[in-house]
Amino acid sequence: MPKSNSATVKTTRRAAVPVLAAAKEASDAFDDRGRTVPWMARTVHRLYDAQAQKILDRENIAISYWYYLRVLAERGELNQLELSKRVGIASTTAVPALDNLEKRGLVQRTRDPNDRRKYFVSLKDEGRRLVDELLPELTEMISASLDGITQRDMGVFWKVMHRIEANLNQKAQDDTVVD
């Protein structure tokens, strides 16, 4: 049985610390606690989801299902692929979620008359009622999370977030190779 080389492991661990420290010093990508923008975005998203789920639990709606209802309430009827893109979920993942929402009488799927492989998804009356009932409370929860933040700071926040989004979208387009 081969021996592990613990000296190598210790050296590697010690070497990583100065490299990370140097990266933090040279970059605006880290906060004072060593967290990156994606780390904080994920943390805040998880906290919002946890608070939202408390509200959605009253109607036995999973947060992942709420996203579909919310997009349909805002956009109206969409084909299944477009709905998946807007929710940010793979279309194959959408199928079981939409099956569940359809069984609960919250959404309706209808075949595209021009392409029988495609479906359109729309809210039913009960789905609309849920969105109309829950959205104000969810909006209030989000608003309460912004207590103590000035309008000016929120303006800067949105400007920065939109710039980050544009930069990442541009990077995604640059990654596309056309043959």
Q: Could you report the per-residue pLDDT of 22-42, keeping only the tens digit for each?
A: 555 557 888 888 999 999 999
Looking at residue 14, its pLDDT comes to: 53
Does residue 6 surpass a pLDDT of 70? Answer: no
Cα distance from N-terminal residue to C-terminal residue, the chain: 49
Does residue 174 surpass a pLDDT of 80? Answer: no
When pLDDT is averaged across residues 73-87 and rounded to a whole number, the result is 93
Model pLDDT for residues 108-137, shown as the tens digit of each residue: 999 988 888 888 999 999 999 999 999 999
Looking at residue 173, its pLDDT comes to: 85
Domains of the chain, by residue range, sit at: 30-142
**C-beta atoms surrounding 171 within 10 Å:** 9
CA-based nearest residue to 117, from 79, 154, 70, 147: 79
Show the tokens assigned to 60. 């036995």
Average pLDDT, the chain: 87
CATH of domain 30-142: 1.10.10.10
